[in-house]
Structure 1
Amino acid sequence: MKVIVAGLPKTGTKTMNNALRVLGCDTIYDYPENAYYLNKEWVKIFKKGSKPEELRRMYDGVDAVMDTPCCFYWEELAEAFPDAKIILMERDEDRWYKSLLKQAEQLNSSWLIWCIQCFTYFGIRRVTYRRGVLAALAELSGWPTERINLHNKCTLKRLFRQHELYIKEKAPKDRLLIFKLTDGWKPLCEFLNVDVPEIPFPHKNKGAEIFEEYRKSNEIVKSVERQFLISMTFYVALAAFIVYKCLTWFHW
Structure 2
Amino acid sequence: MKVIVAGFSKTGTKSMRSALTELGFSVHDYPEHYQYNGELWRKVLDEGAVKGEFHRMYDDVDAVVDAPAFYFWREIHEEFPEAKIILTVRDNEDVWFNSWQNQITQIMKNNFVFKLASSITPTGYKFNRYSSEVGETVYGMRRSFIPLVFHRNFKLNPTLSKKRYREHNADVMQNAPADKLLKFNVKDGWGPLCGFLGVQQPETPFPRKNVGGTIMDDLMTTHPVFMRLGRETLVSTSLLGGVAIIGGWRAMRFFRSRWGSGKKSTTS
What is the TM-score when the length of structure 1 is the normalising length? Answer: 0.90
**Counterpart in 2 of 1:144?**
147
Contact 2:107 2:214 in 1 (8 A): no
Shift in Å, 1:137: 4.0
Secondary structure class of the residue paired with 2:232: helix
User: Superposed, which structure 2 residues align to 1:1-252 within 5 Å?
Assistant: 1-26=1-26, 28-91=27-90, 92-109=92-109, 110-135=111-136, 136-145=139-148, 147=151, 149-246=154-251
Q: Report the Cα distance in structure 2 between the residues aligned to 1:243 and 1:162, rounded to whole angstroms.
A: 56
Q: Report the Cα distance in structure 2 between the residues aligned to 1:32 and 1:160, rounded to whole angstroms.
A: 22
Which one is further off, 16-25 or 204-213? 204-213
Q: Report the Cα distance in structure 2 between the residues aligned to 1:193 and 1:158, rounded to whole angstroms.
A: 34
> Which structure is larger by alpha-carbon Rg, 1 or 2?
2
Aligned residues: 251
Q: Mark the runs of 5 or more structure 2 residues left unpaired by the alignment.
A: 258-268
Secondary structure class of the residue paired with 2:170: helix
Q: Report the Cα distance in structure 2 between the residues aligned to 1:182 and 1:168, rounded to whole angstroms.
A: 19
Contact 2:38 2:130 in 1 (8 A): yes
Shift in Å, 1:60: 3.1
Q: Report the Cα distance in structure 1 between the residues aligned to 2:96 and 2:24, rounded to whole angstroms.
A: 28
Shift in Å, 1:160: 1.2
Q: Which runs of 4+ in 1 moved over 6 A?
A: 248-252
Contact 1:13 1:67 in 2 (8 A): yes
Q: Which amino acid aligns with 1:139?
A: R
Q: Which amino acid aligns with 2:97?
A: Y
What CA deviation, in whole Å up to 9, does each residue of 1:116-144 have, x standing for no partner?
Answer: 11111122123442222112242243231
Contact 2:132 2:144 in 1 (8 A): no
Alpha-carbon spacing, 1:126–1:219, altered in 2? closer, same or farther (3 Å): closer
What CA deviation, in whole Å up to 9, does each residue of 1:174-217 have, x standing for no partner?
Answer: 21111111111111112112111111111000121121222343
Taking only aligned residues, the RMSD between alpha carbons, in angstroms, comes to 2.1
Q: Report the Cα distance in structure 2 between the residues aligned to 1:149 and 1:71, rounded to whole angstroms.
A: 23
Q: Mark the runs of 5 or more structure 1 residues left unpaired by the alignment.
A: none
Shift in Å, 1:65: 1.2
What is the TM-score when the length of structure 2 is the normalising length? Answer: 0.85
Contact 1:29 1:65 in 2 (8 A): yes
Secondary structure class of the residue paired with 1:157: helix
Q: Report the Cα distance in structure 2 between the residues aligned to 1:205 and 1:127, rounded to whole angstroms.
A: 21
Q: Report the Cα distance in structure 2 between the residues aligned to 1:153 and 1:249, rounded to whole angstroms.
A: 55
